[in-house]
Amino acid sequence: MTEVQRPPRDADAVVVGGGFYGAHIAAFLARRLRTVTLCERAPALLTRASYNNQARVHGGYHYPRSILTSLRSRANYPRFIAAYPAAIDRSFTKLYAIARRQSKVTAGQFAEFCRRIGAPVQPADAAQARRFDADHVEAVFEVEECAFDATALAQAVSAAMDAAGVQVCTGGAVRAVRAVRAVLPGGARRLRVQWGDAPGEATDADVVVLCTYSALNDLLADSGLPLVPLVHELTELALIEPPPALRGLGVTVMDGPFWSAMPFPAAGVHSLSHVRYTPHARWPDGGADGHAVRGDAVLRALPPSHAPHMQRDAARYLPEMAAARYLKSLWEVKTILPRSDVDDSRPILARPVDGAPGLVTVVGAKIDSVYDVEEALTAMLDSDGIR
Ligand SMILES: Cc1cc2nc3c(=O)[nH]c(=O)nc-3n(C[C@H](O)[C@H](O)[C@H](O)COP(=O)(O)OP(=O)(O)OC[C@H]3O[C@@H](n4cnc5c(N)ncnc54)[C@H](O)[C@@H]3O)c2cc1C
């Protein structure tokens, strides 16, 4: 990737936020536009939610209550794997166990759902199934679902940006984005990305894409622009060393207030997340709720860990989990669109901002849904005649 000390004064497009979304989208835009700059406030790329997550490449299995999200995952899964092969970890067996009580699907419904979305599924072999407590688990299935290595993904997406000619500037936060009238024949409107304190420390561009995820409304508020209705959660992911017998397994217990333990390839350990214990706090943001809380302030005052609760509950379903060794927790602000609450779907946001032509806000739901954002961006650029 071409690293620059300072962003240029002028670019066709600026992408703000160097998580996976920003980096992938910058490379995507640079295949269509001449000059694309990526601005990331951290010293390195993919250090926030794109690292602090469960590393599951979603194969659709997770969403039996949202057929649309599952079908999008089925379409995006092979694309993501083909685009980033060096970041893919298939070295483990992936099991989905259906809880006997409180599950929102039965084993029969889960198997039928997999067949409907075309997701490979088969009963787990008897030795694997016997690991689970039969009082708590109705059935265990083996599926095809892999994990990604966030560090390898950062390298791969950086190489893609390099090949596409993206200029990357790290270590400085964008302060604001404003619509300005350019000193051009016809006085066309452009966008000014203010990345420094001095008036000249800014880049003018035709297209600006905000990929700042949990900090999206921070930047919109600082820019005096309309906020996007979002919901944030303070999340804790425990990193654990599983007992040797579980090292080659990824396990998800479905479908409700259960848990998941699977390889976290970037650190060579497993992650453990729990639907009840991973979220510590939750707050609405934007729209009528205003913008009272900044995620970064929440991350500076962390509550006590829930890891012991996660492990204790997991061991009720898979007794060998009691022997896992807790290492540390990854904390992050997870951002979802309010609609996700209703049906457990994972819609994406890729929307122009009122009053700022050319400015687009993006919030991705899962790593692979970047391809849904690509489609939405293509439609927007085509309709604005931007090539
Ligand atoms: C606990 C948890 C588990 C998850 N599990 C999975 C999973 O298993 N599989 C999956 O596919 N998805 C999962 N997700 C969702 C996934 O992590 C996100 O969809 C994805 O990482 C979002 O990528 P992003 O690039 O938009 O955000 P980020 O990676 O957070 O990138 C945003 C970037 O913007 C930068 N930024 C913010 N403000 C500014 C500014 N003003 N100027 C410059 N830069 C700025 C930040 O520093 C950051 O680097 C999970 C999320 C969480 C929190």
Q: How far is it, in rounded angstroms, from Cα 318 to Cα 262?
A: 13
Maximum average pLDDT range among 273-282, 288-297, 371-380: 273-282
Q: Is 41 in the pocket of ligand 1 (CB under 6 A)?
A: yes
Do residues 74 and 182 share a domain? yes
Structural domain count, the chain: 2
Question: Residue 357 belongs to a domain with what CATH number?
Answer: 3.50.50.60
Ligand 1, atom 1, lies closest to the CA of 53
Give 222 Cα–ligand 1 centroid separation in angstroms: 20
Q: How far is it, in rounded angstroms, from Cα 181 to Cα 165?
A: 27
Give 23 Cα–ligand 1 centroid separation in angstroms: 11
Ligand 1, atom 15, lies closest to the CA of 366
Give the number of the atom of ligand 1 that is nearest the alpha carbon of residue 22.
25
The confidence band for 4, taking pLDDT boundaries of 50, 70 and 90, is: confident
Do residues 102 and 137 share a domain? yes
Write out 127-169 in H/E/C secondary structure: HHHCCCCCCCEEEEEEECCCEECHHHHHHHHHHHHHHHCCEEE
Do residues 175 and 316 share a domain? no
Q: How far is it, in rounded angstroms, from Cα 91 to Cα 33?
A: 38
Do residues 328 and 269 share a domain? yes
Full-model pTM: 0.96
Q: How far is it, in rounded angstroms, from Cα 172 to Cα 214?
A: 17
Do residues 242 and 188 share a domain? no
pLDDT at 202: 97
Q: Picking from 67-71, 147-151, 380-384, which range would have the lowest pLDDT averaged per residue?
A: 380-384
pLDDT reading at 215 higher than 90: yes
Ligand 1, atom 50, lies closest to the CA of 53
Do residues 183 and 324 share a domain? no
Do residues 159 and 24 share a domain? yes
Give the number of the atom of ligand 1 that is nearest the alpha carbon of residue 42.
47
Range of 24's domain?
A: 1-89+146-229+342-387
Q: Is 235 in the pocket of ligand 1 (CB under 6 A)?
A: yes
Q: Is 53 in the pocket of ligand 1 (CB under 6 A)?
A: yes
Residue 181 has, within 13 A of its CA and on its CB side, a CA count of 3
Give the largest CA-CA distance in the chain.
74
Ligand 1, atom 37, lies closest to the CA of 212
Q: How far is it, in rounded angstroms, from Cα 341 to Cα 109?
A: 22
Give 21 Cα–ligand 1 centroid separation in angstroms: 8
Instruction: Give residue-wise pLDDT tens across range 360-372.
Output: 999 998 999 999 9
Residue in the block written with tokens 């452009």: 190
Ligand 1, atom 45, lies closest to the CA of 17
Give 18 Cα–ligand 1 centroid separation in angstroms: 9
Ligand 1, atom 2, lies closest to the CA of 53
Do residues 364 and 276 share a domain? no
Q: Is 311 in the pocket of ligand 1 (CB under 6 A)?
A: no
Instruction: Give residue-wise pLDDT tens across range 104-114.
Output: 999 999 999 99
Query: Closest Cα to residue 170, out of 342, 2, 12, 309?
Result: 2
pLDDT reading at 352 higher than 80: yes
Give 214 Cα–ligand 1 centroid separation in angstroms: 7
Do residues 46 and 12 share a domain? yes
The confidence band for 186, taking pLDDT boundaries of 50, 70 and 90, is: low
Q: Which of 317, 336, 355 is the last residue of a domain?
A: 336
Instruction: Give residue-wise pLDDT tens across range 39-89.
Output: 999 999 999 999 999 999 999 999 888 888 899 999 999 999 999 999 999
DSSP 361-373: EEE-SSGGGHHHH
Q: Which of 295, 319, 336 is the last residue of a domain?
A: 336
Q: At what angle do helices 67-83 and 107-117 cross, to 10 degrees?
A: 60
Question: What percent of the chain stands above pLDDT 70?
Answer: 96
Q: 301 phi and psi, to 5 degrees?
A: -130, 75
- Once rounded to an integer, what is the mean pLDDT over residues 253-277? 97
Q: Is 19 in the pocket of ligand 1 (CB under 6 A)?
A: yes
Do residues 82 and 160 share a domain? yes
Q: Is 48 in the pocket of ligand 1 (CB under 6 A)?
A: yes
Q: Is 271 in the pocket of ligand 1 (CB under 6 A)?
A: no
Do residues 35 and 162 share a domain? yes
Phi-psi region of 70 (alpha: psi -120 to 50; beta: other; left: phi over 0): alpha
How many helices, marked H, and strands, marked E, lie in the chain? 10, 20
Ligand 1, atom 25, lies closest to the CA of 19
Question: Residue 125 belongs to a domain with what CATH number?
Answer: 3.30.9.10
Do residues 48 and 167 share a domain? yes
Report the Cα 231 to chain-centroid distance in Å.
14
Output the average pLDDT for the chain. Answer: 94
Give 77 Cα–ligand 1 centroid separation in angstroms: 18
Give 48 Cα–ligand 1 centroid separation in angstroms: 6
